[in-house]
């Protein structure tokens, strides 16, 4: 999924409780689902960032040769400016883009 083209809030905002709990009729279940989705998004973003930063990695054993790569700094700043995974997960939840299921109770 492309997390860069999103309308998620950059800063903290207040959400309508009824809108969040509407799909499940249980606020705790909805928050649990959102939290699990936020963990998935965080894992995806971290993997993507590590892959991009590995392109700039230098494998020298010398600590004296530390230099800053402008492209590496720009990549890091871009990922820092993205909305937090929780905000992305809440936006997906409110737009009905999250698939969830509950195991059948016996």
The ranges assigned to domains in the chain are 17-56+65-94
Q: Count CB atoms within 10 A of the CB of residue 70.
A: 7
Predicted confidence pLDDT, tens digits, the chain (106 residues) = 677 778 888 888 999 999 999 999 999 999 999 999 999 999 999 999 888 888 877 666 555 555 667 788 888 888 888 999 999 999 999 999 999 888 875 5
Distance CA 34, CA 15 (A): 13
CA 40 from centroid of its chain's CA atoms: 7
Query: Residues 31, 106: contact at Cβ < 8 Å?
Result: no
pLDDT at 55: 80
pLDDT at 63: 53
């Amino acid at each position: 999924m492309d997390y860069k083209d999103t309308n998620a809030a950059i800063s903290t905002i207040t959400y309508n409780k009824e809108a969040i709990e509407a799909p499940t009729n249980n606020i705790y279940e909805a928050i649990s689902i959102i939290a699990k989705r936020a963990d998935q998004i965080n894992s995806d973003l971290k993997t993507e960032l590590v892959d991009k930063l590995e392109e700039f990695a230098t494998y020298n054993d010398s600590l004296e040769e530390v230099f800053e790569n402008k492209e590496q700094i720009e990549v890091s700043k871009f990922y820092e400016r993205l909305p937090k995974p929780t905000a992305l997960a809440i936006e997906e939840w409110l737009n009905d883009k999250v698939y969830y299921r509950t195991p059948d109770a016996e």
